[in-house]
Chain A
Amino acid sequence: MKRVLLTAALACCALAGQAAAQGVTLPAVERVELDNGVVLLVTEQRDVPLVGLEVIVRGGAITDPDGKAGLASLMLGLMEKGAGSRNADAFAEAVDGVGGSLTTSAGLETLNISAEFLSRDTGLMVELVADMLQAPRFDGEELRKLRDRRIDLLRAAKDRDPRELSPLYGNAFLFTGHPYGRPVNGDETSLASLRASDVRGYYEDFVGANRLVIAAVGDFDAADMISLLTLAFADWRTVEGPLPEVPAAPPEDGRRVLLVDKPGATQSYFWIGNIGVSRSYPQRAELDIANTLFGGRFTSLLVDELRTKAGLTYSAYSALLRPSAPGSVAVVSYTKTSSTIEAIDLALGLLGRLHETGFDPELIASGKNYILGQFPPGYETAAQLAEQFANLEAFGLGAGYVNDYGAAVAAADVEAIQAVIDAVYPRQDDLVFVIIGDAETIRDSVAKYGPITEMALTDPRFSP
């Protein structure tokens, strides 16, 4: 493949951007709030015989108790392993039998269930999702199997290319002792400590009607869908477990380095970052433009210099993590072991250049066009729309978050963008480094970036 998958960087823009010129606007959605707090968002889209269903439980990894990282995620995974009248096999058989797709994913602040299926199977899929949420079995043997498999899969991930792991180590090291530093799916030690009582306790405290958002988009009659969902969820209980107010982590002063040893690695993988901004950051359009131009597309500064001009890497990007409290901003790339210093020095130089010279008006116009031009494909299918509606509701964002965004991008000016760059991107002196590589070869040379903490890739945690 020619391209780095810029997913991490682009994911930040998933809710962003609208082709103002073409005037794309979210379709109207019917919102119904049941007495017990369940919010239903329903809209018809009838071009193909599919239905997309997105269910969000507000909460997520930030509600994991201390030392129990991965609990919410494990509980979510177990909901598929037997619910209602079906054991794990029967449940899988029911989903597979109709060719449906049903996936679960845990995030920092939400637990998501995403289903996509043929419209003729709507009744069955609503029943399955309702059972998962309201009547999970949490079978002890299934728990043991899933937990042990997740531990082993973390080890398997370390045998693959560590590209996907460096952000995990990066955020864990930057947010040491803060909820955002916890690995969402847990680590080998936290997972090993999880018991059936933990899972049941979490479920009783944190999973209930008043935390639930359900969005349905697709080939159905909206009134029928609303009655179906109402019937399935109106009698569910509410929960009292507290949703924590996550404090803002203070920006990092000075530098520190985490060296993660992968003996014999032929490449070094680096993540260099600091505290960034939250989802509600007011200059979102300006920041998205800046990030697109810095490291969010193929002709961005980072890719152009590190890959196209210097041939040091296959992939480079800048990543913004934007939860409810300030998240992180980071430069991510990798290079062959012998050019580790050359590539990191170049990346630091580009961070400096970003502050000093910023972007000229022509580039800014190009960045705006890119964001606006790539926006509509994120709202193409029923499943995508369901996900967008559910997210807006779960995070308390109105339709304007999407509908007004195009105009905000179009209106952003050079000075405002430069001000955002200065406010959000870290200075070279204040940085947290995570480098995964062959420690024996690079230990001495990376010492110049700051005091080193060292751990092995095979250590059972993602932080020292």
Chain B
Amino acid sequence: MALFNELRRRNVFKVALLYALASLLVVWLVDSVQARFALPVWTDTFAYFILAVAFPVALWLAWTYEITPVGIKKADDVDQTQSIVYKTGQKLNAAVAVLLVLGVLAMLGQGLLPTFEFLVPDPPEGEAPISARTPPEIRSLTLGNGLEIIVWPDHDIPNVAMYNFVRAGGRNEYPGITGVSHFFEHMMFLGTENLEPGEFDRTMEAAGGRNNAYTNQDVTVYLDWFPRSALETIFELEADRFENLNIVPEVFESERQVVFSERRSSIDNNNAWKLLEQVQATAFVAHPYQFPVVGWPSDIGSWTQDDLVNFYRTYYAPNNRTIVVTGDVTTEEIFALADEYFAPIPAQPSPPPVRTVEPIQAGERRIAVGAPAQTPLLQAAFHSARAADPDALTLSLLLRILTDGDSSRLHRALVEDAGLALSVDSYLHEGFDPGLTLFLLTLPPGGDVDAAERRLLAELERVINDGVSREEVAKARNKLLADFWRELSTISGKAGALGRYQVFHGNYEKLFLQPELVEAITTEDLRAVATEVFRVTNMTVGVLRDPAAGAAR
């Protein structure tokens, strides 16, 4: 009891309380400042360490020394009758009160610190949780026939990007017509009831415009880039081909050969794609994601005119499309042009849904491909999440930790440390249905395929068992954030990003939630998704090597 009284007399308890309060305030400050000023990730850990170490020191100082009117003395040397510890105690009480007030103020007024708009999005507004982050100049409209139009004016350069998303791709095909979505993409450039084959491109290029298109397993996208002066010409051309396509038999046959040539280049003469085609066909046994987008050769050879006509009617209807326009335009003029050129195109019954769901894979699958090759290839595929699934974003963050950059885990383990691979890449299929997460390895000539596979799986196992570090997560987040801004720095990037979110996530405004969704992903989330996806029973492994290159290892 005497000790307790002496502790109290020497203000040790008050110092302890004051220290605790001050520490809380410091911790809060470090957290806020770290986020806003992008201090190194160890800043907070370091601060906690210092605070913890200094605590006993402060208590010891409080016990040992005492403040007197003539300066600081050892408490044992002070004549107790002259002691002013009660005065010091009052000062300490005042300091505790001040800190408490400061703490409350800080909690209430987080806006005291300068905030950089691009780093810290404004806190959500209760009634409009999504649109609060969407730049207000972006507007959208759905025409009476179901066609969606999204416009993002941006007047940096006198040019416009117009991306036309059609919800039709490899997943809408079946044996016998595989590749037809991609072939159809070619036919869209080759003549309408009003324009001869080739006239579409000639008109667009003469007006200063350029175009391209791509087809994947989920969508077909038509891309136009043109000077503002060509705006009306482009609307006229696009409306015409989406309403009045005319398939000329001779053109059809010639274009069939072009697609054969495309297939020979991109698959037959390209080992990585040759293997990937087989891996996809092995990983999926039921779902149409098993088909190559360009089509199986026998199907390329046998598509009929009827296949194309049916496809056009079903999938190219306005109610199955989304158009994004970005660049040197006004919302009003685009809505007016859309109304004039696209509104008259009639809607069609909704396309049939893709009903097949891939059954759960119950065991490892392996596929071997033989081809002339100096460098063997190894691919590992795992069934994963559809684009709209929150797991997809978590996975994409994890893949950055694994393969993005020279400091990524797999690059270090497989390329730098062991020399087992020349390169390691990953790919996450983000589509309407659950697709594959892929690891693609190119091995050195004579490379050890089994050793590379073992190391790859060991690294994936390590994520499942030990998780990833906070530093790795911070790094991956920074990469995502930088890529986010990079994509939005061009009108093409803007058009692609808005369209992707509208089509695969159901609302383009979700694009602007991405930075904070990424911020909310925890190391535990990453480990959970790794555990879910990187199971050996969920894996398909493909190996390509040269049968003539000696005995297979």
Contact = CB atoms under 8 A, between A and B. Distances in A.
Contacts of A99: 475, 477-483
A380 B491 contact: yes
Contacts of B46: none
B422 A96 contact: no
Contacts of B491: 377, 380
A248 interface: no
Interface in A1-26: 1-3, 19, 21-22, 24
B158 A19 contact: yes
B256 A311 contact: yes
B185 A2 contact: yes
B342 interface: no
Interface in A296-329: 297-299, 304, 307-315
Given A159-B374, A266-B268, A369-B206, A100 B490 contact: no
A159 B422 CA distance: 13
Nearest to B202: A299
A3 B212 contact: yes
A46 to B, nearest CB: 11
A450 interface: no
Interface string B425-461: 0000000000000000010110000000000000000
Given A2-B189, A376-B157, A156 B422 contact: yes
Interface string B199-227: 00110011111111111000000000111
Interface residues of A, number: 76
Interface in B390-419: 404-408, 412, 415-416, 419
Contact of B210 (A22, A92, A263, A370): A370
B405 A377 contact: no
A269 B372 CA distance: 18
B258 A377 contact: no
A67 interface: no
B365 interface: no
Interface string B95-132: 00000000000000000000010110000000000000
Given A24-B158, A264-B372, A374-B208, A380 B272 contact: no
Nearest to B254: A311
A66 interface: no
A310 B254 contact: yes
Interface string B55-98: 00000000000000000000000000000000000000000000
Interface stretch (B9-17, B144-152, B259-267, B311-319): B259-267
Interface string A250-293: 00000000000001111100000000000000000000000000
A365 to B, nearest CB: 7
Contact of A265 (B185, B225, B269): B269
B465 interface: no
Contacts of A3: 211-213
A267 B375 contact: no
Given A24-B157, A152-B444, A336-B261, A369 B489 contact: no
Nearest to B158: A22
B373 interface: yes
Nearest to A378: B157
Contacts of A310: 254
A153 interface: yes
B141 interface: no
Interface stretch (A160-168, A172-180, A220-228, A413-421): A160-168
Given A297-B205, A334-B265, A369-B207, A50 B479 contact: no
Contact of B227 (A22, A148, A149, A265): A22
Q: Which of A80, A96, A118, A381 neighbours the largest number of chain B CB atoms within 10 Å of its CB?
A: A96
Contact of B265 (A19, A88, A314): A314
Nearest to A96: B405
Nearest to B206: A366
A285 to B, nearest CB: 16
Contact of A372 (B116, B225, B227): B227
B159 interface: yes
Contact of B419 (A1, A50, A145): A145
B478 A370 contact: no
B273 to A, nearest CB: 9
A298 B201 contact: yes
Contacts of B255: 311
B228 interface: yes
A96 B406 contact: yes
Contacts of A334: 261, 265
Q: Is chain A's interface secondary structure helix, strand, loop, or mixed overall? A: mixed
A298 B205 contact: yes
A140 to B, nearest CB: 15
A89 interface: yes
B156 interface: yes
A267 B480 CA distance: 40
A214 B492 CA distance: 27
Nearest to A308: B198
B131 to A, nearest CB: 21
Contacts of B492: 377
B521 to A, nearest CB: 15
Interface string A359-381: 00000011001101110110111
A145 B416 contact: yes
Given A3-B212, A267-B264, A307 B205 contact: no
A299 B201 contact: yes
Contacts of A266: 264, 268-269
B374 A380 contact: no
Contact of A161 (B119, B254, B270, B477): B270
Contacts of A121: 38
B229 interface: yes
Contacts of B227: 19, 21-22, 372-373, 376
Given A50-B486, A308-B197, A1 B212 contact: yes
Interface of B: 38, 116, 118-119, 156-159, 185-186, 189-190, 197-198, 201-202, 205-215, 225-230, 253-258, 260-262, 264-266, 268-272, 372-375, 404-408, 412, 415-416, 419, 422-423, 442, 444-445, 471, 474-475, 477-483, 485-486, 488-492
Name the 10 nearest CB pairs between A and B, nearest first: A373-B208, A99-B482, A99-B478, A92-B406, A366-B206, A311-B257, A311-B254, A96-B405, A92-B407, A22-B158
23 contacts: A1-B213, A3-B212, A19-B227, A89-B407, A92-B406, A93-B407, A99-B477, A99-B478, A99-B482, A99-B483, A145-B416, A152-B375, A153-B422, A156-B374, A156-B442, A161-B270, A264-B372, A267-B265, A298-B205, A308-B197, A336-B264, A376-B159, A381-B490
Given A314-B258, A372-B227, 9 more contacts: A19-B227, A47-B156, A50-B485, A95-B406, A99-B482, A117-B482, A120-B116, A307-B258, A382-B489
